[in-house]
Amino acid sequence: MSCANKLTAAAFAVLLAATAACISAGAWHWSGNVVSEEACSAKVVALTFDDGPHPKKTPEILEILDKYDVHATFFAVGENAEAHPEIVKAEIDAGHEIGNHTYTHVFLKNADCEKVKREICAFDDYMLEEFEYKPKLLRPPGGLYNDSVCTFAESMGYSVILWSVDTRDWAHTSAGAIADTILDNVSGGDIILCHDFIGGEAHTAQALRTVIPQLKNMGYEFVTVSELMALSEK
């Protein structure tokens, strides 16, 4: 059964109640019902990568993450995932988390309700059918969302995830500038925005070779977004 046919009023009510409990507990940094950063005193951060998988750039990033024993969260685009299922499988097998970044990288804030539903569900259905994997996190492309996007996402069991540190790697920023942005702004609970699919020259992988060991030397641990969220519940 496709995700579009699984909505129930009861499930939606339960999810809204859970969301309200999290907000009232002050566990996360919220804008409406959207998570952008964990309120966390521990030195833990979550690396996230948008728009992939890319046939060359994503494997390079995976190799670096494996070298340093780091797990990350990949917000994949459905059509890219379908074009490179072997990379998605490699991400899952390595213990990384896969999030929903829509099927065709649509700016959901500007889409009508039916298109929002199709974009989220097409990705959801593909991941279930191909990998028996149910994503729990949605990152709207561009970080653009509205109440309708949040309402539908929550009804499907998704948490909507933004970020607290933008590396601006998408703007073809140099590796040094990417590294400086992270190292100068990082704090416990941060969700760091990177990309593993950038048109043209990209310096994300090179920056990671600097950032990961330096953050580890500073006492930081790397976790997935779901693990970061779970820490605030303890």
Judge contact between 103 and 125, C-beta under 8 A: no
Helices (H), 68-166: 78-83, 85-93, 113-131, 147-155
Cis amide prior to 53 (ω within 30 degrees): yes
Helices 85-93, 57-67: crossing angle, 10 deg rounding: 10
- Which of 50, 124, 169, 190 is labelled catalytic? 50
195 in active site: yes
Judge contact between 63 and 208, C-beta under 8 A: no
- Which of 54, 101, 195, 203 is labelled catalytic? 195
50 in active site: yes
Compute the distance between CA of residue 217 and CA of residue 211 in angstroms, rounded to an integer.
10
DSSP state, 14?
H
Compute the distance between CA of residue 203 and CA of residue 60 in angstroms, rounded to an integer.
11
Catalytic positions are 50, 195
